[in-house]
Amino acid sequence: MRTMIIAGNWKMYKDLTETRDLILALKAATPSLPDRVQSVVCPPFTSLALAGELLKGSAFQLGAQNMSQHDEGAYTGEVSAKMIKATGASFVILGHSERRQYHGETNELVNAKAKKALAAGLHPIICVGETLDEREKGVMVQVITTQTKGVLAGIPAHDMANCVVAYEPVWAIGTGRTATPQQAQEVHQLIRKLIAQQYDWALAERITIQYGGSVKPDNAAEILTQNDVDGALVGGACLKADSFSAILKAAKV
Ligand code: PEP
């Protein structure tokens, strides 16, 4: 049985006061989670330390939204794996499509970041996903294959066991347009097969593969019941405690 992980990507929302309010509301709404369901909140860097303090002893874990591929040095504006870990975080989202689109992140860079995250003891949530143009051109399988192989290249099996993969079709992120449960299942199955080819089926069956793209309280249950969908990466709907809590209630294993 795989662990179901529901992660909330706060993106560039919530200052410190808003962070406190949302976390207190989340803790009140969700004092505990079922066995094998985990939830991760991923606020902006500026809120990580505060969130780490507030989440101690709660049902939630903490994650960052990005990370440098370097250990330390003259890299203005960057944040290292060690710094993230020190806030109490245990997860980090890597290769989100907004990082790829607006900051030029490539599969190679995401792969380098994933290796650094793993070396620091963080669980990377590694994102892959095709654009609408790629889906309409019929090259989705090639795109997902190239991305998955690229971001996982050279990661040894014992580290792979600590990775989460998120399938996030770019056309479904922040658009209100969700992949159908069948579309999600098809790609999740493909990703699991690619992991099995690189490692083996026993390991592939243990890897949590999240779906992300306009997951809301009213569509979460249907997507999460698909065989190979093991959680969700939630953007817009994680910014309010009631909608994120409703998605968590839909997560059953
Ligand atoms: C995301 O930011 O990863 C995401 C899936 O956003 P949304 O849920 O708003 O589509």
Q: What is the pLDDT of residue 53?
A: 98
Q: Could you confirm whether 103 is annotated as catalytic?
A: no
Q: Please, what is the end-to-end C-alpha distance for the chain in angstroms?
A: 8
| Residue 76: half-sphere exposure toward Cβ, Cα within 13 Å | 0
Check 96, 98, 105, 134 and give the catalytic one.
Answer: 96
- pLDDT class of 42 with cuts at 50, 70, 90: very high
Q: Where along the chain do its domains lie?
A: 4-250
Angle between helices 181-198 and 217-224 (to 10 degrees): 50
Q: Is the CB of 219 under 6 A from ligand 1?
A: no
Closest residue to atom 6 of ligand 1, CA basis: 235
**Separation CA 251–CA 229 (nearest Å):** 11
**Separation CA 18–CA 106 (nearest Å):** 32
Check 98, 123, 168, 188 and give the catalytic one.
Answer: 168
Q: Which two tokens stand for residue 126?
A: 């590694």
User: What is the pLDDT averaged over residues 136-142?
Assistant: 97
What's the CATH fold of domain 4-250? TIM Barrel (3.20.20)
Task: Please write the tens of the pLDDT for every residue from 154-178.
Answer: 999 999 999 999 999 999 998 989 9
Q: Is the CB of 235 under 6 A from ligand 1?
A: yes
Region at 36 (left for phi over 0; alpha for psi -120 to 50; beta for the rest): left
- pLDDT class of 27 with cuts at 50, 70, 90: very high
User: What is the pLDDT averaged over residues 103-120?
Assistant: 98
| Residue 98: half-sphere exposure toward Cβ, Cα within 13 Å | 13
**pTM of the complete model beyond 0.95:** yes
Closest residue to atom 3 of ligand 1, CA basis: 235
- The percentage of the chain sitting over the pLDDT mark of 70, rounded to a whole number, equals 100
8 Å CB contact between 147 and 170: no
Neighbours of 108 (CB within 10 A): 12
Q: Which two tokens stand for residue 232?
A: 């969700």
Task: Please write the tens of the pLDDT for every residue from 227-250.
Answer: 999 999 999 999 999 999 999 999
Q: Is the CB of 93 under 6 A from ligand 1?
A: no
Q: Is 242 exposed, middle or buried (0-12, 13-18, 19+ CB in 10 A)?
A: exposed
- Enumerate residues 6+ apart whose C-beta is below 8 A from 103: none
- pLDDT class of 252 with cuts at 50, 70, 90: confident
Q: Is the CB of 8 under 6 A from ligand 1?
A: no
Q: Measured in angstroms, how far is the CA atom of residue 95 from the centroid of ligand 1?
A: 13
Q: Could you confirm whether 108 is annotated as catalytic?
A: no
**Separation CA 109–CA 62 (nearest Å):** 23
- Of all atoms in ligand 1, which is nearest to the CA of residue 93? 3
